[in-house]
Amino acid sequence: RCALESARAFFRGRHAAYLYRAGRNLEDGELSPACMADAFRCLGKAARAALCAIARHLRLRTDVFNQLLDDTPLPVNEVSSSELLVAYTHEQLQSGQTLMGCPSRSSMPQVDRGFVTLVASDYPGIEVCDPNGHWYLADGVSGPNNLLLLTGRALSHVTAGLCPISQYRVTNENRASLTFRLVPHANAILDCSPILAAGHCIRRVYQPIPASQFMDDSYAEEHAVSSHLEEPSESQGNFVSDPSLRSVLSDPLSGAFLEDAMVLQCGHSFGGVMLKKVIEMARCTICNGEVDPSSLFPNLVFCYEQL
């Protein structure tokens, strides 16, 4: 509650955001909202407790993922990989405007890259997609004393997919919020050895990978998706709401012309390298829907265009 009130007081009606990492020194002239160190420590403790509870739910040791996290307390001169984003926006925020140079969150679906994300806000405004593809308001009873827990890509990887990724979208920008992301430290190796030792089968896609590379790859993938979704349609006039032929025949991630395009159960089409990737992940990289290789069928629109 103190940190949320601090955000409102610090920004004083301006829509802005501030990113806090434990151990980072303030630059000359840089100001920070009050209570950030205390909020970071409190939310970090809650996030670690949530990770322990998830491990226990999977019948693993509660400390099984601790070696992947920053030390607590941090060594001298070391900056935390985890981060706390404090933000304040209000109803005067115009469509398409940016926060701290970042794209507007609006209602675009998002997925976090870390283990778990905790969100505290003074008003509700986050919808989460359930396994059936339906969106629902997840923080409808949210207040300053409540936290919303979201699971990220890194947790899904180290649990071999047993913990699904939370896909969410922000539907109410008129609020103050704290977003704490528990992220693996850069030198960690993300692997599924605890899940394998527990007797679960591990699919080939869940190979050991350095956390730094995993985070970079996830960021590049998210950036590619965002760039594609934000491209203006080439259709004009009365048909601006319809997808152009080029968009139908383009890879939804790379934007390149599709080769040997196949349609997934969810309706998204992929070809070439990206098709191979979604088959290995067994998840659509656009909507996170499950992929059954036996259910794929050719994109006939693409075939007709080639003819």
pLDDT reading at 90 higher than 70: no
pLDDT value of residue 299: 63
Q: What is the DSSP letter of 91?
A: T
Per the omega criterion (within 30 degrees of 0), is the bond before 73 cis?
yes
Neighbouring CB atoms inside 10 A of 176's CB total: 23
pLDDT for 238: 39
The answer to whether residue 152 scores a pLDDT higher than 70 is: yes
Residue 168 CA to residue 150 CA, distance in Å, equals 8
What pLDDT is attached to residue 60?
93
The pLDDT value given to residue 64:
95
* Cα dihedral 155, 159, 163, 164 in deg (nearest 10): 80
Residue 190: is its pLDDT beyond 90? yes
User: What is the predicted pLDDT for the residue at 219?
Assistant: 76
Asked if pLDDT for residue 178 goes beyond 60, the answer is: yes
Q: Can you tell me the mean pLDDT for 78-107? A: 64
Domain at 1-24+32-90+104-224, CATH homologous superfamily: B-lactam Antibiotic, Isopenicillin N Synthase; Chain (2.60.120.330)
Domain with CATH 3.30.40.10 in the chain: 249-298
The values of phi and psi at residue 243, to 5°, are -70, 140
Indicate yes or no: pTM above 0.85. Answer: no
Lowest mean pLDDT among 103-107, 159-163, 236-240: 236-240
Q: What is the pLDDT of residues 11-60, one digit of tens each?
A: 886 778 899 999 988 887 788 899 999 999 999 999 999 999 999 999 99
Q: Which tens digits make up the pLDDT trace of 101-147?
A: 343 445 688 899 999 999 999 888 899 998 888 899 998 776 667 89
Of 3.40.190.10, 3.90.400.10, 3.30.390.30, 3.30.40.10, the CATH number of 249-298 is 3.30.40.10
Q: Which of 82, 95, 83, 84 is nearest to 15 (CA)?
A: 95
Averaged pLDDT for residues 147-174: 91
Which residues in the chain are classed under CATH 2.60.120.330?
Answer: 1-24+32-90+104-224
**Over the chain, what is the mean pLDDT?**
79
